């Protein structure tokens, strides 16, 4: 049971492309991505990190391929992971060809940086032959020299012009299986660039605020930037760029989508900020429950409210709820209805049990 969203987001219609088994664009779910920070040549460490990222809820992962050893490592890595792998390529066209031939599902490149027409053709040929899509990755920090000279500084118009230039390169060679990003570390610049680009192309858009910063500041910047665009219906796949463990990027990405009712995955906890009215330690309880319920992938809403002021109202619209009561007698709600009193010392055990039971019921049905 959940509260019907006040506003349903109407997503912008885009073309559909394939990144391995994941479809991007159209009416397909908005996917969450992250990127490994291990050396790709360290196959064992890279496989472990990709699987950790997958367990956290990533749909796609990107790995860096700066050299030949990295691109050849892809072949072994892909055997041991379950989500599509994007090869991050910057300048050398041979790395892109090798990555496509060794199993990458997508290449992150700027065609304009690859070299002359013949080199671009070879990359696109390898991509086509291996059912490999492309992400055109425009970044405010690495704009083409002539575009930067024209606009004097990174601005929305500069990012969009770079994107248009790279789109034309691909289209002129009859390649259409691609998505686009126009990232900046500046929230306002990113939002404006994506809004402009969404008006002139229907290719799927990969959203991100690049080099967003540490966990707290980067999460806030990304939430503001991506949230604004997603509420406008713009965006088909996202990555949160944090100076932190990649699994944290996935966690924040999923939380942004869940908060906008764009993704249902795992337990969504509604909890109060805690005050002197609390009948049990709300903050500690929520922290423990987040950890103990991390394995639940089924969409379930859970309210943890420390007193009876807002508790019953929140519990009326969640699958499971706990409201603080006097003398350690707290009330458990199931599907919005009062069920039984629960001692404070039993809250964790009881909530975990009820969530797991609810998940099992949903999966069975």
Q: How confident is residue 2, by pLDDT bands cut at 50, 70 and 90?
A: very low
Q: How confident is residue 158, by pLDDT bands cut at 50, 70 and 90?
A: very high
Mean pLDDT, residues 72-81 taken together: 97
Contact between 175 and 194 under an 8 Å Cβ cutoff? The reply is no
pLDDT score at 125: 95
Q: How confident is residue 7, by pLDDT bands cut at 50, 70 and 90?
A: low
Q: Indicate the pTM of the whole model.
A: 0.88
Three-state secondary structure call for residue 62: strand
pLDDT score at 39: 96
Mean pLDDT, residues 68-77 taken together: 97
pLDDT of 1 strictly over 60: no
Question: Distance between CA atoms of 172 and 223, rounded to whole angstroms?
Answer: 36
Question: What's the distance, Cα to Cα, between the start and end of the chain in Å?
Answer: 15
Question: Distance between CA atoms of 28 and 26, rounded to whole angstroms?
Answer: 6
Rounded to the nearest 10 degrees, the angle between the axes of helix 43-56 and helix 68-79 is 50
CA angle at 343 for the pair 340 and 347, rounded to the nearest 5° = 85
pLDDT score at 289: 97
pLDDT score at 141: 87
pLDDT score at 4: 47
Contact between 334 and 34 under an 8 Å Cβ cutoff? The reply is no
Mean pLDDT of the residues in the chain: 93
Tokens representing residue 358 in the block: 């609810």
pLDDT of 3 strictly over 60: no
pLDDT of 67 strictly over 90: yes
Report the helix count and the strand count for the chain, using DSSP H and E: 13, 15
Mean pLDDT, residues 5-24 taken together: 88
Mean pLDDT, residues 331-357 taken together: 96
Tell me the per-residue pLDDT of 287-322, one tens digit each, with 9 for 90 and over: 999 999 988 999 999 999 999 888 899 999 999 999
pLDDT score at 326: 79
- For 56, 293, 350, 362, the CA distances from 269, given in Å and listed in that order, are 16, 10, 15, 18
Domains delineated in the chain: 17-259 (3.20.20.20), 267-364 (3.30.413.10)
pLDDT of 85 strictly over 60: yes
Mean pLDDT, residues 126-135 taken together: 96
More confident residue, 355 or 115: 355
DSSP label at 20? Answer: T
Q: H/E element holding 180?
A: strand 178-183
pLDDT of 167 strictly over 50: yes
Three-state secondary structure call for residue 23: strand
């Amino acid at each position: 049971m959940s509260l019907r969203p006040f506003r349903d987001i109407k997503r912008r219609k885009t073309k559909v492309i394939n990144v391995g088994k994941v479809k991007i664009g159209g009416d397909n779910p908005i996917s969450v991505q992250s990127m490994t920070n291990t050396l790709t040549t360290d196959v064992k460490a890279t496989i472990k990190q990709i699987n950790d990222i997958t367990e956290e809820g990533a749909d796609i992962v990107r790995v860096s391929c700066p050299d030949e050893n990295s691109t050849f490592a892809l072949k072994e890595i892909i055997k041991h992971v379950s989500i599509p792998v994007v090869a991050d390529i910057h300048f050398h066209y041979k790395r892109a060809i090798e990555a496509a031939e060794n199993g990458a599902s997508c290449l992150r490149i700027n065609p304009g940086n690859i070299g002359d027409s013949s080199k671009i053709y070879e990359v696109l040929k390898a991509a086509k032959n291996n059912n490999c899509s492309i992400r055109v990755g425009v970044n405010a920090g690495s704009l083409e020299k002539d575009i930067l000279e024209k606009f004097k500084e990174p601005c929305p118009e500069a990012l969009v012009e770079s994107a248009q230039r790279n789109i034309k390169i691909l289209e002129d060679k009859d390649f259409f299986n691609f998505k686009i990003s126009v990232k900046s570390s500046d929230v306002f610049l990113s939002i404006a660039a994506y809004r402009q680009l969404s008006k002139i192309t229907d290719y799927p858009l990969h959203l991100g605020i690049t080099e967003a910063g540490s966990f707290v500041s980067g999460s806030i910047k990304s939430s503001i930037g991506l949230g604004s665009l997603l509420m406008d219906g713009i965006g088909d796949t996202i990555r949160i760029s944090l100076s932190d463990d990649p699994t944290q990027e996935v966690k924040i990405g999923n939380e942004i989508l869940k908060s906008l009712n764009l993704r249902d995955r795992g337990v969504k906890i509604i909890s109060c900020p805690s005050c002197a009215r609390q009948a049990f330690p709300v903050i500690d309880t929520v922290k423990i429950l987040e950890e103990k319920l991390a394995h639940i992938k089924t969409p379930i809403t859970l309210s943890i409210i420390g007193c009876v002021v807002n508790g019953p109202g929140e519990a009326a619209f969640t699958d499971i709820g706990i409201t603080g009561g006097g003398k350690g007698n707290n009330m458990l709600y199931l599907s919005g209805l009062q069920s039984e009193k629960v001692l404070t010392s039993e809250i964790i055990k009881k909530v975990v049990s009820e969530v797991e039971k609810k998940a099992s019921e949903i999966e069975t049905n």
